């Protein structure tokens, strides 16, 4: 699958599955990810300490994996969008967009790179381009680019209907940690105000035909919001999934060790990662 195929699948109501890569750095991880049956991965550069060269090497490896690589950039900025795409990303996730202007910046770079300035603004606002030859060239050059914006605060939700009037947005990302903090209920994912906020995002996105990614960290929450309409599934991260796997499997092995007289080990506990 490539970015264009991913966009087409979700635009037609299909369900896609992916995870966030916060820890993986070695390009060989792309082979492992391909074996997991994922449709896409989000390579984080907002909270994870990856440099430009690290990302470029990782993206080059993913080009042979069949898994669509998308980079979460640090902020909604034209240069950061084009830097990720020039390195080989099949799109970007731009976090914490609260205004129409921020959404336009991301859409301009995703859809019409390398067009900049006034011409890029015209392309997004009115569809005007220098010529039909330019349109055809840029549409083909950017056909794989998946454009995702982050709606992660109360002001963003209040402005969401206007934001989604920007042409070129493929999906909306919700960061539960940031959103719950903005709501005044940090990490309370069963709180009525949090659930109401997610339902409002899903409602507005649905009215625009835009799919929603909600980055939950448990299977139960991911299942719940998949049933409620979040069909662009973004579940957990490489770090958290590895933590949970070792916790569960070694926990089971240690129970037998205790039966045989070994020392009991303390529960490893939940992953402390916040991403």
Q: What are phi and psi of 94, to 5 degrees?
A: -100, 115
Task: Please answer whether residues 214 and 174 qualify as being in contact, where contact means their C-beta atoms are separated by less than 8 angstroms.
Answer: yes
| pLDDT tens per residue, range 214-223 | 999 999 999 9
Q: How far apart are CA 89 and CA 68, in angstroms?
A: 8
The rounded distance, in Å, linking the Cα atoms of 191 and 239 is 26
Query: Is pLDDT at 73 greater than 90 in this prediction?
Result: yes
Does residue 51 have a pLDDT over 80? yes
Angle at 56 between CA 54 and CA 60, to 5 degrees: 120
**Average pLDDT of 188-206?**
98
Q: Please state, rounded to an integer, the average pLDDT across all residues of the chain.
A: 94
pLDDT reading at 7 higher than 90: yes
Domains and CATH numbers, the chain: 3-259 (3.20.20.60)
Q: For 155-194, what is each residue's pLDDT tens digit?
A: 999 999 999 999 999 999 999 999 999 999 999 999 999 9
Given pLDDT bands bounded at 50, 70 and 90, which one contains residue 270? confident
Of 201, 203, 200, 198, whose CA–CA distance to 216 is shortest?
Answer: 198
Asked if 73 and 80 touch (Cβ cutoff 8 Å), the reply is yes
Q: Helix, strand, coil: what percent of the chain each, to 5? A: 50, 15, 35
Question: Is 91 strand, coil or helix?
Answer: strand
Query: 32 pLDDT band (50/70/90 cuts)?
Result: confident
DSSP per-residue codes, 202-249: HHHHHHHT--EEEEESSHHHHHHHHHTT--EEEEEEHHHHHHHHHHHH
Q: What's the pLDDT band for 26 if we cut at 50, 70, 90?
A: confident
CA angle 235, 6, 124 (to 5 degrees): 110
Answer yes or no: is pLDDT of 230 > 80.
yes
On the question of pLDDT at 266 being above 80, the answer is no
pLDDT-derived band at 71, boundaries 50, 70, 90:
very high
């Amino acid at each position: 699958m490539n970015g264009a195929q991913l966009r087409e699948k979700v635009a037609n109501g299909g369900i896609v599955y992916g995870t966030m890569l916060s820890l993986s750095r070695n390009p060989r991880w792309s082979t492992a990810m391909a074996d997991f049956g994922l449709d896409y991965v989000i390579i984080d550069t907002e909270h994870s300490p990856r440099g430009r060269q690290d990302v470029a090497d990782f993206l080059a490896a993913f080009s042979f994996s069949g898994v669509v690589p998308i980079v979460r950039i640090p902020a909604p900025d034209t240069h950061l969008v084009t830097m990720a795409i020039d390195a080989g990303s099949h799109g970007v996730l731009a976090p914490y967009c609260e205004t129409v202007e921020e959404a336009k910046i991301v859409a301009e770079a995703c859809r019409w790179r390398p067009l900049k300035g006034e011409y890029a603004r015209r392309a997004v606002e009115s569809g005007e381009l220098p010529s039909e030859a330019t349109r055809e060239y840029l549409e083909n050059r950017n056909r794989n680019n998946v454009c995702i914006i982050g709606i992660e605060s109360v002001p963003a939700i209040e402005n969401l209907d206007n934001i989604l009037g920007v042409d070129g947005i493929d999906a909306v990302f919700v960061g539960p940690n940031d959103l719950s903090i903005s709501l005044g209920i940090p990490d309370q994912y069963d709180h009525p105000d949090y659930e109401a906020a997610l339902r409002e995002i899903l409602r507005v996105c649905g009215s625009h035909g835009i799919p929603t990614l909600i980055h939950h960290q448990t299977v139960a929450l991911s299942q719940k919001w998949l049933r409620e309409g979040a069909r662009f599934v973004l579940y957990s991260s490489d770090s958290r999934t590895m933590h949970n796997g070792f916790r569960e499997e070694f926990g089971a092995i240690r129970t037998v060790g205790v039966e045989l007289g070994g020392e009991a080990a303390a529960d490893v506990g939940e992953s402390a990662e916040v991403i």
